[in-house]
Amino acid sequence: MKNRIWIFLLVVSLGINIGFLLHWAWPKIAAGGGAGARSGWHAGAMKRHFGLSSEQARRMEGERQQVLAQAKPLQEELRQKRRELFLLLKGREVRDSDLDAPLAEIARLQAAIEKMYVLHAVKMRGMFSPEQLGKYEGCLEQGLCPGMMAKASCPPGHMTGQEKGPAACAGADDINK
């Protein structure tokens, strides 16, 4: 009798462990290799959503990887400057003038990173067909034109926040990546 209880507990424990492993590993297995495989222009959802050819997707993914590599050092420096600001705030009482230099450097780095991504977005525009460009601009409008803006401030689609977003972005995964 005691043997059967141990066998039963072993089987239940094994089932629970296999369940946890599958819960953790299945999304990676089903996606074909992890989170990195699901983002970018080459990913199935983005490629299908915009109707990209294989050549377009390859070129666009190359450009995306390049801008990510260029931005990485600036993002690391920005993280370091934010850490330095935190240590400044943590260490002692801070005067207004003590914040000027670190905040100016953080703003400079943020602006440089933002400019890099905007120039990348402009470069991507040149790789789309007119129909694809319309979808791309709809996605940019959805992401860059927040609901707190007045209708007149957000041409051409007049996104005001009450709408769910342009049909151009419906179903596209990881558009910001």
Predicted TM-score (pTM) of this structure: 0.60
pLDDT of 168 = 41
Q: Which residues of the chain have pLDDT under 70?
A: 26-39, 145-177
| Integer Cα distance of 169 and 147 in angstroms | 16
Sign of the dihedral defined by the CA atoms of residues 155, 160, 161, 164, in that order: negative
Total number of residues shown for the chain: 177
Domain 39-169 sits in CATH at 1.20.120
Contact 13, 6 (CB under 8 A): no
Structure token pair of residue 34: 């992890």
In angstroms, the CA 99 to CA 113 distance is: 21
What is the domain partition of the chain in residue ranges? 39-169
What residue type is 53 in one-letter code?
S
| 138 backbone dihedrals φ, ψ, rounded to 5° | -60, -40
Q: 37, 47 in Cβ contact below 8 A?
A: no
CA 130 to chain centre: 25
